[in-house]
């Protein structure tokens, strides 16, 4: 008799996939099982802290479900939602977008997958900020392309290094990605910086993608949407409901196309094809998203005011700790401090994060997970928790630094 022992190997592609923000959770959960108290500063999810989805949006989803709106929607999304999205992008961000050029996705995460899947051929390069939100790096590589990061300058609030960006443009560059405000640095690009990136894109005939998921979470500077400035450059905008509308777990986002000359028509067709294979985003969530965009917006102002206090508090506490320095984030809800003792007390930012977790229970994300070159020697911490938890975490980080440096 044959005894079959089939051991299937994961594909090379799957084995290459990493996501630092959640990968660090595995170690934390192991430690938690031993009884250790974990202070989670790793995930950018306000709803895990003392922020909640506004009641009118919750009522809207309940009403949708009770009213029987539980079927598949069209793949590109419900008509009413695409209209509301186009209206929001036109009025708030100055985009010139029509509802027919909007595709609703299961979060921006899925939109990044569609975008990279539709634009990257093997060997193609995608230019993106370093450090940046990891799925851009991951998906560019997943489709056998290459993520190339342009430097952002820490001493200038992580502003884009335009000379570095231009140097890295090659014949294989298929797309320039702007993430504004940026995750993990909280950098908000100035109007002049965006104009210069667009000029480079126009000069080298490269389309731009702009992720503006934090467009409503801005503290000191003015926010300018890339769409309002992109006149000659074909643009794909990405945005969603997770942050401004506190709908992280509901999973809803979108892509829109601003491209008057039809230069991205084939790519957009590719995105539409990809959207059809996965049927659609959740229908009741889409109904609630119409209410999110059209209903009261007061919670945004309250959330930003609360976050601004926490940002100021966290920045002050981090800057008091010898061995750590941090630029001031002007948007989103992350701090990205530099650890001066990498190469001394710790070999790498990853080792720092593991030891910090093991000794103190404070969970942050290693900076190299956001880009091995421009993110290394840093860590990312969210300033979403209330002041008492932040105080506890920064005291633990301060004591840890004292013990080791």
Ligand X SMILES: Cc1ncc(COP(=O)(O)O)c(C=O)c1O
Report if residue 183 touches ligand X, rule: CB under 6 A: yes
Nearer to ligand X, 44 or 323 (CB): 44
Residue number with CB closer to ligand X (60 or 255): 255
In the bound state with ligand X, the residue whose beta carbon lies nearer, of 381 and 401, is 381
Per-residue binding letters, 15-54, with ligand X (x by CB under 6 A)? -----------------------------x----------
User: What is the token pair recorded at 276?
Assistant: 């059809």
**Beta-carbon contacts of residue 80 (< 8 Å; ≥ 6 apart):** 287, 290
Of 367, 342, 334, 355, whose CA–CA distance to 399 is shortest?
355
Residue recorded with tokens 């091995």: 372
Give the binding range for ligand X (CB under 6 A) out of 6-14, 105-113, 160-168, 200-208: 105-113
Q: Which of 54, 134, 141, 253 binds ligand X (CB under 6 A)?
A: 253
Count other Cβ atoms within 10 Å, centred on residue 266.
11
Determine the interface stretch with ligand X among 104-112, 225-233, 316-324, 396-404 (rule: CB under 6 A): 104-112
Does 403 sit behind a cis peptide bond, omega within 30 degrees of 0 on the bond before it? Answer: no
Judged by beta carbon, residue 174 or residue 243, the one nearer ligand X is: 243
Q: Pattern of binders to ligand X over 207-236, x per CB under 6 A?
A: ----x-x-----------------------
Cβ of residue 364: shortest distance to ligand X, in angstroms? 15
Say if residues 273 and 347 touch (Cβ distance below 8 Å): no
CA contacts within 13 A on the Cβ side of 270: 15
Q: Which residues pair with 376 in a beta bridge?
A: none
CA-based max dimension of the chain: 74
* Residue 176 region by backbone torsions, left for phi larger than 0, else alpha for psi between -120 and 50, else beta: beta
Cβ proximity to ligand X: between 323 and 385 the closer is: 385
> If DSSP states are collapsed to H, E and C, what string results for 134-174?
HHHHHHHHHCCCEEEEEEEEHHHCCEECHHHHHHCCCCCEE
Contact call for residue 108 and ligand X (CB under 6 A): yes
Nearer to ligand X by Cβ, of 82 and 400: the residue is: 82
Q: Are 332 and 214 in contact (CB under 8 A)?
A: yes
Residues of span 282-341 touching ligand X by CB under 6 A: none
Report, in Å, the least distance between residue 403 CB and ligand X. 32
Contact positions with ligand X (CB under 6 A) in 131-160 = 133
At its nearest, how many Å lie between ligand X and the CB of residue 335?
Answer: 14
Q: Which residue from 325, 320, 330, 302 is spatially nearest to 390, judged by alpha carbons? A: 320
Asked if residue 179 binds ligand X (CB under 6 A), the reply is: yes
**What is the binding site for ligand X (CB under 6 A)?**
44, 107-109, 133, 179, 183, 211, 213, 240, 242, 248, 253
């Amino acid at each position: 008799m044959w005894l079959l022992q089939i051991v299937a190997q994961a594909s090379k592609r799957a084995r290459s996939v990493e996501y630092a923000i959640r990968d660090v959770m595995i170690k934390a959960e192991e430690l938690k099982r031993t009884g250790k108290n974990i202070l989670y500063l790793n995930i950018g999810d306000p709803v895990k802290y003392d922020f909640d989805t506004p009641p009118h949006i919750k009522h809207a989803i309940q009403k949708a479900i009770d009213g029987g709106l539980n079927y598949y929607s069209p793949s590109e999304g419900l008509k009413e939602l695409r209209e509301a999205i186009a209206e929001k992008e036109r009025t708030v961000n100055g985009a010139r977008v029509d509802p027919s050029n909007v595709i609703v996705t299961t979060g921006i995460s899925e939109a990044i997958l569609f975008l990279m899947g539709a634009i990257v051929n093997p060997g193609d390069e995608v230019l993106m900020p370093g450090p940046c939100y990891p799925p851009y790096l991951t998906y560019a590589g997943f489709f056998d392309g290459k993520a190339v990061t342009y430097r952002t300058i820490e001493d200038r609030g992580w502003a884009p290094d335009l000379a570095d960006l231009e140097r890295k443009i090659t014949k294989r560059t298929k797309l320039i990605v702007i993430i504004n405000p940026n995750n993990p640095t909280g950098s908000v690009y100035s109007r002049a910086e965006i104009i210069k990136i667009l000029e480079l894109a126009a000069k080298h005939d490269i389309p731009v993608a702009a992720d503006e998921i934090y467009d409503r979470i801005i503290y000191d500077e003015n926010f300018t949407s890339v769409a309002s400035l992109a006149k000659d450059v074909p643009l794909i905008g990405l945005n969603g409901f997770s942050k401004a509308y506190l709908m992280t777990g509901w999973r809803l986002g979108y892509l829109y196309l601003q491209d008057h000359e039809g230069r991205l028509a084939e790519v957009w067709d590719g995105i539409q094809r990809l959207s059809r294979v996965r049927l659609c985003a959740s229908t009741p969530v889409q109904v609630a998203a119409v209410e999110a965009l059209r209903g009261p917006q007061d919670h945004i102002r309250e959330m930003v005011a609360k976050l601004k206090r926490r940002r100021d508090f966290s920045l002050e506490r981090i800057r008091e700790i010898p061995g750590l320095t941090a630029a001031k984030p002007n948007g989103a809800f992350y701090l990205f401090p530099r650890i001066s003792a990498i190469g001394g007390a710790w070999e790498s930012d990853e080792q720092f994060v593991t030891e910090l977790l093991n000794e103190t229970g404070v969970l942050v994300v290693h900076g190299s997970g956001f880009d091995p070159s421009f993110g290394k020697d840093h860590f990312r911490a969210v300033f979403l928790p209330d002041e008492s938890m932040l105080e506890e975490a920064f005291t633990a980080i301060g004591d840890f630094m004292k013990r080791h440096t």
